[in-house]
Structure 1
Amino acid sequence: MPITVRRRRWRTLSERPKALVVGGGLAGLTAAHFLEKAGADVEVFEAGDSVGGRVGTVQVEGGFIDVGAQFIHSNYDVVLSLISELGLEGNLAPLTSPITTIQRGHRYRMAFDSWNVPYLSVKERLRFNLQLGRLLLPRLRMRPHAEWPRSLDLDDAELGHYLRPRVGEDTFEYLIRPLMLSYAMAEPEGVSVAYFARSMAMYLSTKTFALRSGIAALTDALAQGKKVHLGAQVVRLLPDGPRRVVGIEVARGDRREEVRADAVVMAVPSPALAPLYDGWSDVERRFLDTFAYSPFPIATLRLRSPVDDPSYAVLPDRADGYRLSFLTLPQNKLPHCSPPAYLQCYILGPLGAGIIDEDDDTITGRVAQDLERIFPRVSRDVDWVRVDRYRHGFPHFAPGAYGRALQFRESVRSIQGLAVAGDFIEGGLLEGAALSGKRAAKAVSADLGLRR
């Protein structure tokens, strides 16, 4: 019987296939990490002056404050595996401080048990849990990121139109809105029911963690030892035929250069990706042109004296005229990690988009009006303010967005030499970014004949 011997061709260092990753956020750095492990020669191009994207940590007064994405949940499979591989497990700590919600002028501890909601009647709680059960029971064993296409049956329904008549106005305002703000960082208006169901399936049965050294420790560790070009603005993808990409054109100041490679991973937000390539199909172009992000500012206030409150976060009553979506007290997130006397104020949704271009003083003034109602006289105790603006803040999964994202993900595979990563094609948040980077690296590795 003849024996077939399979010989693997070993590449020398000079023969290693070259891969370019555009975008130094979590998605891009994860893609670069797995491509290097597979044996590729990888370079990362980041337009900003630092890596991390929406993952950022500021070192202040011997501690840290996270100024972007912050939390890791126990079902974040890819993120947790990276933390373990990079030796950051010792920095992982559970979040135990309470979240406070202000409803009808009273303060309550945020109820993570949907039956234990003191500001709703028994009838309102029953109606809500009945609807929640109908949404979640078919998805109880679903991995919310890896298997999110299983929620496509709910994709075309808008959350407000779907749930308001089913649960009542009070439940929508006083339970669903705080849940969306605290879990999904989004106002409920204009959001797909699929996104709500996936978010609830993800969070209601998981534990929440943070990194003691700040969330940027993850992206910094991923970037360590890699060829990262900062201040490198990619202005276009280099085509070779109608559906083939062979490199990028990079602008550094007044100088432009073409960089060619065997593969390119684009890990930038969809609005930045759309104009870089003329060869998008109709399906791809429709998705890129319609998918949006929710821009928002974060105002970090340094106070002269700490606020006496044990909560990590406070969610004001939007029905009572508050502009703030929520505020956080960083020193209560993890003991002895963040300095005292800081507040962070988030304005999400249309209000955030409406003021993001205002100057720092205007944003601070709007924040101060709400702070006076929550912590009287605190606005007179402000020492200094830092405002961070996220123009590509959180992916906005409007009705139909999940379906279009899945179509885009499938269609873009037909472009030779190109892979796309980003939380906008994997359901959002840190795990979506990391999962998309890993999947992009896997696809490129297969195309280049690398080990995976």
Structure 2
Amino acid sequence: MKDGHIIVIGAGITGLASAAALSKRGRKVTVLEASERPGGRIRRLTRHGDSVEVGAQGIHSNYTEMLSLINQVGLQSELMPLQGKVSFLDRSGSLRIPDRDLGVIKLMNARGVRDFSWFAARYIAFAKRFPQFEISRDIPSYDDVSAEDAFSWAGDDFHDFLLRPMMHAMTNTTLSDTSLYHAINSMRLALSTKVFGLRTGIVTLAERLASSMSVQYSNSAAQILTAGARIDGVLLEDGRILKCDHVIVACPIEAAAKILPDELSVAKEFLYECPSAPFVLVYFFLDRPVSSEAYVYMGHPYRDVVFNMAINHSRKAPYMVPSGKAIISAWSSYPSSTNLFFQTDDAVVSQALRDMEAFFPGISGWVDEARVIRHSWGIARYVPGAYRKILEFKRHAQTLEGISFAGNDYDGVHMEAGVRSGQRAARRACEG
């Protein structure tokens, strides 16, 4: 077992989970973070005493390792159940709010109900077994086909009230751009768990973890350095060099590709070619409350627009919004988000307001402030065959000395996947 310096690149939840595991083992660890704060794509926005989640929206009840970290930093009493219901625009454009978790079934016609029963039996109750939070099993019959092709037998209601909204919310993309493997993974999580938040936002976990470790902010890694066949350290953007025995690459795949040395050409090529779905969201701080039982709004049964999903954060997490005024986030998805990413803030806001009118008639006249959030790398896009390519990459990565890769994008997007990936990387760094 080695006991030298370990560098973790990235202070998102994955990197911090990795650093926490290393610290627990008594290892010397330095975390490098390009931004000025911890949390990565998990953050909060604040305005006049109100705050709102950006990025991560919930902690699922089966996030056992993440919940363990929450306990370790003393936040267990801050866990709060998400409030409100999921609403849908029906075929006529009227807003419908089902009365329970799977009440959406009552909005479907008889064909849709039968389709759901067949889906639940085949892909939930009797599905092939695989880990929820680690990509570790090759299942060609799931991985080689798109969700669109796999569910071509289903009618419009099952597609529009369940499949398309769930892919928008869970994968930020479409059925044609998602493998059946990843669709089953995502829907299994959504249909079988309760969801919680933290009283002051999920990013509080990242802040607590970071406060007890050595994190260098506004300190980008420019290049991972090698000496012969081994990893030797990290070159920083400011020209300094930090020596180490092991590097854990826990930043988004897009950033990881840019800092790998040419000697790691196989890994570098995989990272550059990994498909992603960018995030473009708009947060509207309104001048009034929005009275509704719903906190999530889905428009897919009625229309196809750029921003076809919305969240009312004041309903979802009222403990974060003491003013009671509504905070609405508008969510785009791939492929629309790709073009949207390069538009001006004014254009993005205008598009979002047009699309929000069906959910909140009159919203254009209620906005105190609008903020646009962009991530060039939102989450990985698991097209057919993507899981197998990730498995091939993982096998190759195991042959590399002095470097480990960690992140939710290698294991199915969910935050819990990132936490567990970081912990596995920490064990490898200690044992390698």
1:412 correspondence with 2:400: no
- Alignment correspondent of 1:294: 277
- Aligned partners of 2:5 and 2:29 also within 8 Å: yes
8 Å contact from structure 1 (residues 114, 125) kept in 2: no
> Within 1, Cα distance between the matches of 2:172 and 2:64?
20
Please show how residues 190-339 of structure 1 align to structure 2 within 5 Å. Answer: 190-242=177-229, 244-252=230-238, 256-276=239-259, 277-280=261-264, 282=266, 284-317=267-300, 320-338=303-321, 339=323
Give the structure 1 partner of residue 367 of structure 2: 382
> In structure 2, what is the Cα distance between the partners aligned to 1:270 and 1:236?
14
Q: Distance in 2 between matches of 1:110 and 1:292?
A: 35
Closer, same or farther: CA 148–139 of 1 in aligned 2, 3 Å:
farther
Please identify runs of 4+ aligned residues in structure 1 that moved more than 6 A: none
How far residue 377 of structure 1 moved from its aligned partner, in angstroms, is 1.6
Aligned match of 1:52: 39
What is the root-mean-square deviation of aligned Cα atoms in Å?
2.2
Q: Residues 372 and 114 of structure 1: is their aligned pair in 2 closer, same or farther, counting only changes over 3 Å? A: closer
Is 1:117 aligned with 2:101? no
SS in 1 for 2:251: coil
Q: 1:151–1:197: 8 Å Cα contact kept in structure 2?
A: no
Corresponding residue of 1:4:
none
CA drift of 1:387 comes to 1.0
Q: Secondary structure at the match of 2:357?
A: helix
Q: Secondary structure at the match of 1:441?
A: helix
Distance in 1 between the 2:276 and 2:99 partners?
28
3-state DSSP of counterpart to 1:204: helix
Partners of 1:180 and 1:196 within 8 A in 2? yes
Q: Is the CA contact 1:249–1:258 (under 8 Å) kept in the aligned structure 2? A: yes
Q: Give the TM-score, by structure 1 length.
A: 0.89
**In the alignment, is the contact (CA less than 8 A) between 2:309 and 2:332 conserved in 1?**
yes
CA, structure 1 residues 135+402, in 2 after alignment: closer, same or farther (shift >3 Å)?
A: same
Structure 2: how far apart are the matches of 1:52 and 1:415?
27
Separation of aligned partners in 1, 2:76 and 2:128: 27
Give the paired residue count.
Answer: 428
The answer to whether 1:397 aligns with 2:382 is yes
Deviation at 1:26, TM superposition (A): 0.8
The answer to whether the 8 A contact 2:85-2:296 is kept is: yes
Code of the residue aligned with 1:264 in structure 2: it is V
**Match for residue 31 of structure 1?**
18
Partner of 1:450: none
Alpha-carbon distance between aligned partners in 2 of 1:173 and 1:297, rounded to the nearest angstrom: 22
Mapped partners of 2:422, 2:147: distance in 1: 29
Task: Please state how far the C-alpha of 1:320 moved relative to its aligned partner.
Answer: 1.7
Counterpart Cα distance in 1 of 2:103 and 2:284: 35
Instruction: Compute the TM-score of the two structures, normalised by the length of structure 2.
Output: 0.93
Number of the residue aligned with 1:145: 133
**Which residue in 2 is equivalent to 1:434?**
419
Q: Deviations over 1:249-306 (max 9, x none)?
A: 1013xxx121110111111122221232212354x34532321221121111111222
1:369 matches 2:357? no
Deviation at 1:84, TM superposition (A): 1.2
Secondary structure of the corresponding residue to residue 117 of structure 1? helix
Distance 1:66 1:72 in 2: 12
Q: Structure 1, unaligned stretches of length 5 or more?
A: 1-8, 10-14, 448-452
What is the distance in 2 between the residues matched to 1:286 and 1:168?
40
Identity %: 28
Written as runs of structure 1 = structure 2, the 5 A alignment for 1:168-187 is: 168-187=155-174
Query: What displacement does 1:108 show?
Result: 2.2
Task: Please tell me the residue identity of whatever aligns with 1:389.
Answer: R
The change in CA–CA distance for 1:113 and 1:141 in structure 2 (over 3 A counts) is farther
C-alpha contact 1:299 1:345 (8 A) present in aligned 2: yes
Q: Which residue of 1 aligns with 2:149?
A: 161
